[in-house]
Amino acid sequence: MAHVFRSGWRFMLSGIAAALVLLGTAEALSNFFAAASAPLVSIGGAFIDIIPPWVKDAAIALFGIYDKIALFATMFLVVLILAAGIGLLARKHRTAALLAVAVLGIGSSAVVISRAATTVADAVPTLVGTLAGALVLAWLARLAHRMTTTAPADAAPEAGTDRRRFLLGAAGSAALGVALLVAGRAASGIRGGVETIREAIRLPKPAAPAAPLPAGVASEVPGMPPFVSPNDNFYRIDTALSVPRVDPATWSLRIHGLVEREIEVSFDDLLAEDLVEADVTLTCVSNPVGGDLVGNARWLGVPVRRLLERAGVDPSADMVLSRSVDGFTAGTPIEALTDDRDSLLAVGMNGEPLPAQHGFPVRMVVPGLYGYVSATKWLSELKVTRYADDSAYWTDRGWSAKGPIKLASRVDVPRSFANVPSGVVMMGGTAWAQQRGISKVEVRIDDGPWEPADLAADAGIDVWRQWSYAWEDATPGRHSVTVRATDGDGTVQTSDRADPVPNGASGWHQIQFTVEEA
């Protein structure tokens, strides 16, 4: 019995080593194909597209920006368990096990091909990987068999050789697979490909530069987030498990649908336009009260309005469905793209070409609307249409068709559950109501009266506004601070709590902190 158990482990190991070779080979080869040609990228992507929205919301709540890593780790674990099972199957039924590998490989290839950003050729990494994995499984299973059939007690020298052969083969295959995986991952992330192209781009100066930021837009309270969010840690939210690799030389944007004339523009066409610069604070509808899925940047681009005018929008249209190369879509009310706000086809972010993660080469930026209905990254298409005729990615998954950004405010300093020294307690935070601006922020200590906070300088209605407040006679002990803002129209932020689903969170942000004894 113990003997059978031991040999079972050998076959499970064979399966796992073969799976690592499969994944490693496919991952390494995927660098020569679309990013989604790596099987786990496509399978994960398909999974994200079909799971019920609440699962995704729960994952974001649980893992935040690490949701993608969590998904990859889970998929990897599932693959290893599956592989161990197939290895066990190979002990008695080698053909059945190889057939299972083939079915899984072909099935995965089909998923790869079905993705929006891939073509049939992108199945090559998965198919070659499957072949390599199957060969390794067949070989290791044969070695494992030889070990099992040679009784360990007698014929000792031969058994020793077989044992060594198997262990070397299994360990070597597993190591090779892991090495290919690591090298393949390291080589991807578009380094050397699109990243070199991106770095070589020189963006033209804006014909209409943004006004310089007024002095004093940043609150002086230590520990506040920067007023302009650096590109490197600007929040990132999207359904793309690997960042799409889009070459600006072959990129084009097609504008079609309810228009007088279809137009198609290249990246160079866009750069040749008079470019407009605008400070716009972007916000995710999934941002919880007090959350940080919000960022402020200076964008450079071509007004969407200008291209829509050229195409000639039919009066019956009420929506523009923007589409990404990876299949994501957003539905934006047509007036948000044709009125005089700074809705842009953005090519630049804080003085650089768009970072790959933020939509290189071209994305949409629309002041006043949550990202899911407006901020399409890796943009490829604008379809002028009607809400009655088309719906977008998140609308199909239970979120509202329209997503104006709700008035919001948060406490950034002190941090939740911080201990602060006694004396004057400095507090600071951020408020936003894009398209309306912020006219007032008030804070309340414990159950005390609402006190006006000091507003930092105003950088415009589409930009967040920082505030500060000095609590002069802070008493030692545990306290809470609550914040509420008033927008430029005089509307006071509601205390009604709403979850992010279906159209954005609301409610006052409150944090707890402790003032230390003097």
Ligand X SMILES: Nc1nc2c(c(=O)[nH]1)N[C@H]1C(S)=C(S)[C@@H](COP(=O)(O)O)O[C@H]1N2
Question: Where does this chain bind Mo ion (CB under 5 A)?
Answer: 237, 284, 371-372
Fill in the DSSP letter of residue 67: H
402 interacts with, out of Mo ion, ligand X, none, CB within 5 to 8 A per kind: none
Q: Please, which residue, 44 or 371, has the CB nearer to ligand X? A: 371
Q: Applying CB under 6 A, which residues contact ligand X?
A: 234-240, 282, 284, 295, 324, 326, 328, 358, 371-372, 375-378
Q: Residue 463: name its binding partner from ligand X, Mo ion, none (Cβ under 5 to 8 Å by kind).
A: none
**To the nearest whole angstrom, how small is the minimum distance from the Cβ of residue 208 to ligand X?**
23
Tell the smallest beta-carbon distance from residue 322 to ligand X (Å). Answer: 9
Q: Minimum Å distance from CB 319 to Mo ion?
A: 18
Cβ-proximal residue to Mo ion, closest one? 284
Q: How far apart are CA 373 and CA 390, in angstroms?
A: 13
Q: CB-wise, 136 or 194, nearer to ligand X?
A: 194
Encode burial over 211-221: b for 16+ CB neighbours within 10 A, e otherwise: eebeeebbbeb
- SS3 for 107-146 is HHHHHHHHCCCCCHHHHHHHHHHHHHHHHHHHHHHHHHHH
Length in residues, the chain: 518
Measured from the CB of residue 287, what is the shortest distance to ligand X in angstroms? 8
> In terms of CB distance, is 397 or 479 closer to Mo ion?
397
Nearest residue (beta carbon) to ligand X: 371
Residue 355: closest CA among 249, 229, 211, 225? 229
- Using the minimum distance from each CB to ligand X, give the nearer residue, 376 or 409: 376
- What is the C-alpha radius of gyration for the chain, rounded to an integer number of angstroms? 28
Q: How far is the CB of 378 from Mo ion (least distance, A)?
A: 15
Based on CB atoms, which residue is closest to ligand X, 327 or 507?
327
304's tokens: 């969407």
Q: How far is the CB of 371 from ligand X (least distance, A)?
A: 2
Q: Which one-letter DSSP state was computed for residue 281?
A: E
Identity of the residue, 280 or 311, whose beta carbon is nearer to ligand X in the bound complex: 280
Judged by beta carbon, residue 379 or residue 384, the one nearer ligand X is 379
Q: How far is the CB of 397 from ligand X (least distance, A)?
A: 11
Question: Shortest Cβ distance from residue 237 to Mo ion (Å)?
Answer: 5
Report the relative pairing of strands 379-385 and 252-257 from DSSP bridges.
parallel
**Measured from the CB of residue 368, what is the shortest distance to Mo ion in angstroms?**
14
Q: CA-based angle 445:450:453, to the nearest 5?
A: 85
Contact partner, 378, from Mo ion, ligand X, none, Cβ < 5-8 Å per class: ligand X
* Residue closer to ligand X, measured from CB, 62 or 492: 62
Report CA 187 to chain centroid distance, whole Å.
Answer: 20
Give Cα separations from 277 to 168, 209, 475 (angstroms): 61, 5, 47
Distance CA 125, CA 105 (A): 10
* Closer by beta carbon to ligand X, 84 or else 366: 366
Contact call for residues 136 and 17 (beta carbons, < 8 A): yes
Q: Select from Mo ion, ligand X, none the partner in contact with residue 236, using the beta carbon and a kind-dependent cut-off of 5 to 8 Å.
A: ligand X
* 239 contact choice in ligand X, Mo ion, none (CB below 5 to 8 Å, kind-dependent): ligand X
What residue 444 binds from ligand X, Mo ion, none (CB within 5 to 8 A, per partner kind)?
none
CB neighbour list of residue 25: distance below 8 Å, 6 or more residues apart: 125, 128, 129, 132, 133, 177, 180
Residue 420 to residue 418: CA distance in whole angstroms: 6
